[in-house]
Amino acid sequence: MQQLVAGIDIGGTNTYFGLVNRNGKILLTGSVRTTDFPEPKELVSAVSKKIQILVADCQMKTAEYKLAGVGIGAPNGNYFNGSIEFAPNLKWKGVVPLAEYFKAQLNVPAVLTNDANAAALGEMYFGGAKGMKDFIFITLGTGLGSGIVVNGQMVYGHDGFAGELGHTIIIQHGRQCGCGRKGCLEQYCSASGIVKTYFEILKSENPDAMENINRSLVDSKYIYDKAMGGDEDAFYAFNYTGELLGFALANSVAYTSPEAIFLFGGLAQAGELLFNPVILSFEKNLLHNYKNKVKVLPSSLPENDAAILGAASLIWNELKIE
Amino acid sequence: MQQLVAGIDIGGTNTYFGLVNRNGKILLTGSVRTTDFPEPKELVSAVSKKIQILVADCQMKTAEYKLAGVGIGAPNGNYFNGSIEFAPNLKWKGVVPLAEYFKAQLNVPAVLTNDANAAALGEMYFGGAKGMKDFIFITLGTGLGSGIVVNGQMVYGHDGFAGELGHTIIIQHGRQCGCGRKGCLEQYCSASGIVKTYFEILKSENPDAMENINRSLVDSKYIYDKAMGGDEDAFYAFNYTGELLGFALANSVAYTSPEAIFLFGGLAQAGELLFNPVILSFEKNLLHNYKNKVKVLPSSLPENDAAILGAASLIWNELKIE
C-alpha cells in the first residue's frame, strides 16, 4: 500500500490542492475558486470530489495508492479545533469547522492550521529546515505570517493562535494596521509594507511626485525592478524594510533562540537586495550571546508548491508515518 | 525509599540550597558565600559536603531518605551542557561545567539552567502554573529574566539560551544597557529600571531636585513606599513601568500565545500599583485574537524559596518521577 495525503491551501481567492507522497513529491494538483462557494460545505464537497478523482487517477497507475489523510492550510486556521475562525479575507463568517467537514466527506483524518504554520512544517519536512528542531519561518506576502518550531514541534500556544509576529508592534504609534492597532511589523515588512515605504520616500523628496505615479502599478516587484535598475529611492525602500525586519528578527531570537530563520514569499525572492540589509541589521541588534549563531536563510520551498507541501506536511506529521 | 533532591541557587553573592521532596516541601536548607570561592570546584566541594550533612540529618529521622539528584539555577546557565557560560555577575570566567562537578562530587544526576528558567519550572511544578502547558514567567529583579514554557516543555532553544526577554529592545536608541545595546526591556521594567525612571521624572520636573536626594537610598521599595504615601512622581514611575511592561508582554503573546504570564520578584510584590497599569496596557496592546484570554498573575512561589524550589523542579522534571 502506498499512502498519499492531500494538501489543501485555502486562499481568499483560490483554493489549491495536490496529492503528495511521503517524500514530498506532488503527484497531481487541482484548484477551485474559493469565492465561487458562499457556503464552506459546498467548497468541501467540490474539492473532495476533485481529490477523489485525482486519487482514482493515481490508482490507474498503481492500484496500491490510498488516501491516508488531508492537511489544510488556511487563514486564521486553528489547529486545535480544525476551524477557520473569523478570517477577514474569506467570505465565510464566524467559526468554520473545515477539518471536520473534510473528514466527513473523505472519511480520512483531516487537520488544519494557519497557512504560515503549514508552510513552516513544509520547510521542516521537505525544505531547508530538515533536521532542525528550533527555527522560525516568516512569510513575506501581502502581510507577514510566521510559524515557530520549538524542540521539533510547531508552537500552537494555548489557543492555537501562536506565531503572529506580523502583529507585534515594532513602532509605537506607527502605521495604522488592519487589526486596529498601530505600528505592526507587517505594516513595514511585507509586500504591501514596502510599497508604503516607497511612497513615503517619494513624497518626502517631492510632495508632488505622487501625482505622476500610477499607484496601482506599484507593487514590491515594481520596486525591486526599479532598485535593480539603479533607482536610489527603491533601493532605500528595500534597505529600510530590511533594517526593520533584521531588528524585529533579532528581538525574536531572544524568545526561542532558533538555529535559523527562513524568509519565504515574494519579497524574500528579492535576494541580496533584501537579505543584505536584513542580516546586517539582524547581527547588529542581536544580544551578544546569539551573535554569529543564527542563520537567516531564504526558504528552499518552491514558491508555487509551498502551500500544498506545507498542508501535506501537517497531515504527514499527524500520521507519524516515516 | 523516599527520594529527595537538592535545589541549588547560585547567586553573585550567595549560594542557597535545600533538600526538597517530590511535593515541593523544603526539608532543610543551607548557604555559602559564592564570593568566598575563587575556584568553582571549591564551591562545589563545600556545597556538596553541606548537602551530604543535610541528607544525613534527614536520614536520622527516616533512614529511607536518599538523594536522587541535584538541580542548579545559575546566571547564564546553559541547560544543554550543564555549564555557566561567561556570567558577568560571577567571578568565575569562561565556561564552568558546574553540573559535571556536582555529579562527580555527589554521584547523582545533576542538571543546570538559568535562574529564571528554574523558577518557571518551580511555578509549573509547585506554583500557579500547575497544569498549564503554555505560560511565560518573568522575574523582575535587578534585571528582567524570563522562562518560556511551550507545550509543557521549557524552551531552551538551539543553544540553551532561549527566553531572554529582558534583552528584547523595547525602545530603539533608548537607555544604555549593560549588554552593550540600547533600549533593552530590563532597562525600564526591573527594580533598577524603575529607579532610573523615577530619577528621570524628578529631574524633568526640577533639574536641581537630584541634589537633595541621597541616590543610594532610592530603590524600588523606596519608590513603592513613596507611591503608597501619595507621592505622584513615584506613582507615575510605577505607571510608566507598568505601561511599558504591559506593552512588551502584549507583543510576547504573539510568539507563544500563553495561557498566563506570571510576574515574580520584588517589583511584582508592589501588587496593584504595578499590576493595574500592566494589565491595562497589556489588554490595550493585545491583538484582538488574544484579548481577554491571557491572565497576568503574580507568581505564587514564596519569594525566598522560589529559587531553591525552581532548581529542585528542574531535577524532578529530569528524573520524571511522579
Average pLDDT over residues B223-246: 97
Task: Give the nearest partner residue to A256 out of B162, B167, B259, using CB atoms.
Answer: B162
pTM of whole model > 0.80?
Answer: yes
Q: Is the pLDDT assigned to residue A84 strictly greater than 60?
A: yes
Range with the poorest average pLDDT among A28-32, A317-321, B173-177, B179-183: A317-321
d(CA A76, CA B101): 49
- Residue to mutate among A83, A255, A317, with most B CBs inside 10 A, is A255
At A153 the pLDDT is 95
Indicate which of A287, A291, A296 best probes the interface with B, i.e. most B CBs within 10 Å of its own CB.
A287
Label the pairing between strands A14-20 and A77-78. Answer: unpaired
CA distance A73 to A51: 16
| Length of chain A (residues) | 322
User: What's the rounded Cα separation, in Å, for the pair A319 and B257?
Assistant: 25
In the block, residue with C-alpha cell 535559523: A260
Residue A322 has pLDDT above 50, yes or no: no
From the candidates A76, A138, A158, A182, which should be mutated to test the interface with B, based on the most B CB atoms within 10 A?
Answer: A158
pLDDT band for A208, please (50, 70, 90 cuts): confident
- Please tell me the predicted confidence (pLDDT) of residue A214: 85
Search chain A and give the residue with CA nearest B147. A255
CB contact under 8 A, A247 and B150: no
What is the DSSP annotation of B125-150?
HHSTTTT-SSEEEEEESSSEEEEEEE
Asked whether the beta carbons of residue B254 and residue A150 sit closer than 8 angstroms, the reply is no
Q: Which residues of A touch B290 (CB under 8 A)?
A: 159, 161
Distances (CA, A) of A281 to A174, A244, A260, A275: 20, 8, 16, 10
Helix-, strand-, coil-residue percentages of chain B, each rounded to 5: 45, 25, 30
C-alpha cell at A267: 519579497
In sequence order, the 6+-apart residues with CB closer than 8 A to the CB of A214 are none
Q: In what helix (H) or strand (E) does residue B245 lie, and over which residues does it extend? A: helix B232-256
Which residues of chain B lie closer than 8 angstroms to A257, CB-CB?
155-164
Contact B102, B275 (CB under 8 A): no
Nearest-Cα distance to chain A for B257, in Å, is 5
Smallest CA–CA separation between A13 and chain B, in Å? Answer: 23
What pLDDT was estimated at residue A62?
80
Task: Encode pLDDT of B203-219 as tens digits.
Answer: 998 888 778 888 889 99
Question: Mean pLDDT over residues B85-103, rounded?
Answer: 92
- Neighbour-count burial of A3, counting CB atoms closer than 10 A to its CB (0-12 exposed, 13-18 middle, 19+ buried): middle
Cell numbers that stand for B211 in this block: 541634589
Chain B hits for A165, Cβ within 8 Å = 254-255
Distance CA A189, CA B296 (A): 30
Grid cell of A71 as nine digits: 492537511
| pLDDT over 60 (residue A105) | yes
- Which of the residue ranges A179-193, A205-219, B269-283 would you say has the lowest mean pLDDT? A205-219
Q: What is the pLDDT of residues B53-81, one digit of tens each?
A: 999 998 888 878 899 999 999 999 999 99
What are B287's three cell numbers? 491583538
Q: Is the pLDDT of residue B321 over 80?
A: no
Is the Cβ of B158 closer than 8 Å to some Cβ of chain A?
A: yes
Judge: B157–A179 Cβ closer than 8 Å, yes or no: no
Torsion of CA A233, A238, A241, A245, to 10 degrees: -160
- Beta-strand runs (E) in B34-97: 65-74, 77-78, 83-85, 95-96
Q: Is the pLDDT of residue A209 over 80?
A: no
Q: What is chain A's mean pLDDT, rounded?
A: 94
> A170-189 pLDDT, tens per residue?
999 999 999 999 999 999 99
Which pLDDT does position A272 carry in this prediction?
97
Q: Does A134 touch chain B (CB under 8 A)?
A: yes
Task: Using alpha carbons only, give the angle B303, B265, B258 rounded to the nearest 5 degrees.
Answer: 110
Q: Which of residues 231-290 of B touch A (CB under 8 A)?
A: 247, 250-252, 254-259, 285, 287-290
CA B233 and chain centroid, separation = 28
**Cβ separation B287–A148 shorter than 8 A:** no
Do B255 and A254 make contact, defined as CB atoms within 8 angstroms? no
* Least confidently predicted of A67-76, A86-95, B15-24, B102-111: A86-95
Strand partners, A77: A84
Does the beta-carbon distance from B251 to A169 stay under 8 Å?
A: yes
User: Do B293 and A153 lie within an 8 Å CB cutoff?
Assistant: no
Mean pLDDT of A212-231: 93
- What is the C-alpha separation between B24 and B44, in angstroms, rounded? 23
Query: A99, A82 in Cβ contact below 8 A?
Result: yes
The pLDDT of residue B84 is 95
Residue A201 has pLDDT above 70, yes or no: yes
C-alpha dihedral (A17, A18, A23, A24), degrees to nearest 10: -50
Place of cell 549560594: B15
* CB < 8 Å to A290, chain B: 159, 161
Please give the order of strands across the beta sheet that includes A135-140.
A153-154, A144-150, A135-140, A260-264, A295-298
Helix (H) or strand (E) holding B111: strand B110-114
- Which ranges constitute the DSSP H helices of chain A? 40-61, 98-106, 115-126, 191-205, 220-228, 232-256, 272-285, 306-319
pLDDT tens for each residue of A292-316: 999 999 999 988 889 999 999 999 9
- Inter-residue contact A82 to A17 (CB < 8 Å): no
Q: Which domains does chain B have, with CATH numbers?
A: 2-125+304-319 (3.30.420.40), 131-298 (3.30.420.40)
CB pairs < 8 Å spanning A and B? 131
pLDDT at B322: 45
The stretch A66-92 carries a mean pLDDT of 92
Of B14, B79, B70, B77, the closest CA to residue B313 belongs to B70
Which chain B residues touch A180 with a CB distance below 8 Å? Answer: 288
In angstroms, the CA B307 to CA B302 distance is 9
Q: Determine the 3-state secondary structure of B29 from DSSP.
A: strand
Residue/partner pairs of A57-61 with CB below 8 Å, 24 or more apart: A57/A28, A58/A4, A58/A19, A58/A27, A58/A28
As a dihedral over the C-alpha atoms of residue A131, residue A135, residue A136, residue A140, rounded to 10 degrees, the angle is -40
Please indicate whether, in this complex, the C-beta atoms of B151 and A148 are within 8 angstroms of each other: no
Answer whether residue A149 shows pLDDT above 50.
Answer: yes
Residue A321's pLDDT is: 53
DSSP B182: B
The residues, any chain, with a CB within 8 Å of residue A172's CB and separated by 6 or more, are A182, A183, B247
Burial degree of B250 (CB within 10 A; 0-12, 13-18, 19+)? buried
Contact yes or no for B169 and A290 at CB 8 A: no
For residue B222, the distance in angstroms to the closest alpha carbon of chain A comes to 30
User: How far is the C-alpha of B29 from the C-alpha of B137, rounded, in Å?
Assistant: 25
Distance CA B255, CA A163 (A): 5
What local confidence, expressed as pLDDT, does residue B215 receive? 85
To 10 degrees, the CA torsion angle through A160, A162, A165, A171?
100
